[in-house]
């Protein structure tokens, strides 16, 4: 028996709703934790979600960023994002 992969299908698996939902949920948990820890209190930690380039792999990626000046200062002062990462464990 010979297994032949259709490489384009991997791209579709990586953008499937199940995969995206797991990753977005992890990012949401990190952002929620960061906003909870933050002294800024303005919801300044926000998430992003997008698929990487098809070449080489097209992996879906989510991110949590400082989206306000207050959040940037808060993260520089308290390392809030680093301390929130544990909330994203799957």
CA-CA distance, 1 to 17, in Å (whole number)? 31
Contact partners, residue 20, CB within 8 Å, separation at least 6:
49, 60
- Segment contacting other proteins by CB under 8 A, of 8-16, 48-56, 60-68, 80-88: 80-88
Binding mask 26-65 for other proteins (x = CB under 8 A): ----------------------------------------
1 token code pair = 């028996």
Q: How far is the CB of 74 from other proteins (least distance, A)?
A: 9
């Amino acid at each position: 028996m010979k297994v032949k992969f259709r490489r384009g299908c991997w791209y579709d698996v990586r953008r499937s709703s199940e995969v995206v939902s797991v990753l977005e949920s992890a990012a949401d948990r990190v952002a929620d934790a960061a906003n909870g820890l933050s002294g800024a209190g303005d919801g300044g930690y926000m998430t992003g979600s997008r698929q990487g380039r098809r070449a080489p792999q097209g992996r879906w990626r989510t991110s949590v960023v400082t989206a306000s000046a207050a959040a940037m200062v808060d993260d520089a002062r308290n390392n809030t994002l680093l301390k929130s990462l544990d909330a994203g464990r799957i």
